[in-house]
Structure 1
Amino acid sequence: MDLSDAYANGPYIAQAETYPPRWREAARGFRAALAAEGRLREGIRYGDGAREALDLFLPEGTPEGLMVFVHGGYWMAFSRSDWSHLARGAVESGWAVALPSYDLCPDIRISGITRQIAAAVTVAAGEVAGPIRLAGHSAGGHLVARMPAPGVLPGEVATRIAHVMPISPLSDLRPLMQTGMNAKLGLDEDEARAESPVAMAPPACLVTVWVGGDERPVFLEQARWLSEAWGCSLVIDDGRHHFDVVDGLETPDSEMTRTLLHKA
């Protein structure tokens, strides 16, 4: 069975082609505003590769802690600079926010991206004291869900993880082997299982799985699978689809931002 259409989002979202340029414009404006105030540290290296860098956005005063947002794009698209505006809600709530880029398939395997994000979280943790809260969208939801697994992060970083929010995550990678995109992802049975959060033991930290109520059925299923496998909370955000489900991160008083930063 070919599941390519089941995992396609753009064809089922009105004016889908307008979203990436809008994201880039909002991101550019937010970066410029914080840079003008001296509250952006851009291009902090976490590895030797060209894309192994993160941007760190700082609040006014001492940060409450660190939030890390990992972007999606099926591990094949986008960069940290497309999503800077999603740091706004946490920054205005007093948190520092790190947004990493990472190498993209087919130049790297998904397991390699997991290791890159672990390195990025570790470097960001060295820059900001306090609790760490992780959020990621789609493929980024998969990547943040991988972080609490034993041995992925150094012990001193792992113990600081207070809350993980996979947003519309890909939690079981095995179905993706039945899509056309696997020509670039290169998943085999062993890697697909090893990289699937649903196959991991439930982490000790708090987890909230978040998904849009108007998403494709497979994304609702992927979110439920993770919630059921880990026994964690599942929020179905009514009226949100795969492209606008992350919008709450722009606003400090949104339910998404408040849940991520303040839920104990």
Structure 2
Amino acid sequence: MHAILHDVTDWDDAYENGRNIPGGTDYPAPWVAPAQAFRDAADARLDQSYGDRAREVYDLFLPQGAPRGLLVFVHGGYWMALDKSYWSHLAAGPLAAGFAVAMPSYDLCPEVSISQITEQIGAAITAAAAQVDGPIVLSGHSAGGHLVTAMMCEDSPLPEDVRSRLAHVVSISGLHDLRPLMRTARNAALRLDRASAEAASPALKQPLPGIRLTAWVGGGERQEFIRQTELIANIWHGLGAPTLAVVEPDRHHFNVIDGLMRAGSPLMRAALDPVPGD
């Protein structure tokens, strides 16, 4: 049995999630209240600075007792939208498993480039890593999946002492080859050309040795997101990285992240089991 990849005639539609999911255009509004409620109740250090710019801040959520390690979650929004405040409730699963959780904001296109955002995420992870000991797990959704995957490339902006603590990178519905996005209307803001798209694509780079990658996607997502997930796991497996591609049934682009809220979910079990030092 062979998978059939249909020709793409409308690249905007191929990368459009909201209009292709029942109720999809409602997002991100459904996340606002649960995220705020979670922040209000959590042991949180909000708006920690990792740079000089207004959006160069992160929230740090602390578990009961000494943290087992640090999980950093990087949000999506096509590098063009949203901030850390929409996702706070997703820290519940890692916190219940004993991990501290950092969630950064970052500047957005077109004010900055994707390469500049990548540098910002490196700075955010480095700042959070200085606050929490132990292994580091990175997870990101959509554009955030791209950003965390970039952290385990040979040209990662992370310093060596932080790289050495990276145990696992979990890209959820991530974008790993940015060249197709040049064919979309979003490129007016992303401002990708062939050179910058290639330079920003983890799928075209060598992964750092010894770091696991899990690429996770919902079975009900756009075909391009499923292809991008399978692509990175396939290419990097051939370059020696331990990789896993998972298509979670009955999940679309906006609820595929819900597993982060539960320590016992398949997504969280995959992300945190095992980690070094356990």
Structures share fold, TM-score greater than 0.5: yes
Instruction: Please give the residue correspondences for 1:228-239 in structure 2 after superposition, counting only pairs within 5 Å.
Output: 228-231=234-237, 232-239=243-250
Measured in 2, the distance between the counterparts of 1:158 and 1:98 equals: 16
Measured in 2, the distance between the counterparts of 1:251 and 1:114 equals: 28
Aligned to 1:194: 199
Aligned to 1:59: 63
Aligned to 2:89: 85
Residue 165 of structure 2, aligned match among 160, 168, 171 = 160
Aligned to 1:254: 265
Structure 2 contact 154–207 (Cα < 8 Å) conserved: no
Residue 233 of structure 2, aligned match among 217, 227, 233 = 227
Aligned to 1:174: 179
1:89-110 deviation line (CA, Å, top 9, x unaligned): 0011110000000001010000
Kindly report the root-mean-square deviation, in angstroms, between the aligned alpha carbons of the 2 structures: 1.0
Instruction: Please give the residue correspondences for 1:1-264 in structure 2 after superposition, counting only pairs within 5 Å.
Output: 2-34=10-42, 39-151=43-155, 152-204=157-209, 205-231=211-237, 232-264=243-275
Structure 1 contact 4–180 (Cα < 8 Å) conserved: yes
1:183-227 deviation line (CA, Å, top 9, x unaligned): 000001111001101001133201111000010011111111111
Structure 1 contact 105–184 (Cα < 8 Å) conserved: yes
Structure 2 contact 215–244 (Cα < 8 Å) conserved: yes
* Residue identity matched to 2:267: M
Q: Indicate the SS of the match to 2:98.
A: coil
Structure 2 contact 154–205 (Cα < 8 Å) conserved: no
Structure 1 contact 202–229 (Cα < 8 Å) conserved: no
State the Cα distance separating 1:14 from its structure 2 match: 0.5
State the Cα distance separating 1:262 from its structure 2 match: 1.4
Where structure 2 has 5 or more consecutive residues not aligned to the other structure, the ranges are: 1-8, 238-242
* Residue identity matched to 1:67: L
Taking every aligned residue pair, what percent have the same amino acid on both sides?
Answer: 51
1:40-99 deviation line (CA, Å, top 9, x unaligned): 000110011110000000000000000000000000111000100111100111100000
Structure 1 contact 30–85 (Cα < 8 Å) conserved: yes
Measured in 1, the distance between the counterparts of 2:27 and 2:272 equals: 26
Measured in 2, the distance between the counterparts of 1:149 and 1:239 equals: 31
In the superposition, the TM-score normalised over structure 2's length comes to 0.92
Structure 2 contact 19–25 (Cα < 8 Å) conserved: no
Measured in 2, the distance between the counterparts of 1:17 and 1:219 equals: 18
Q: Indicate the SS of the match to 2:16.
A: coil
* Residue identity matched to 1:100: P
State the Cα distance separating 1:2 from its structure 2 match: 4.9
Structure 1 contact 9–242 (Cα < 8 Å) conserved: yes
* Residue identity matched to 2:223: P
Measured in 1, the distance between the counterparts of 2:192 and 2:38 equals: 36
Measured in 2, the distance between the counterparts of 1:109 and 1:199 equals: 18
Q: Indicate the SS of the match to 2:220.
A: coil
State the Cα distance separating 1:154 from its structure 2 match: 0.2
Aligned length: 260
Measured in 1, the distance between the counterparts of 2:134 and 2:201 equals: 28
Where structure 1 has 5 or more consecutive residues not aligned to the other structure, the ranges are: none
Structure 1 contact 65–129 (Cα < 8 Å) conserved: yes
State the Cα distance separating 1:8 from its structure 2 match: 0.5
State the Cα distance separating 1:20 from its structure 2 match: 1.4
Measured in 2, the distance between the counterparts of 1:62 and 1:174 equals: 43
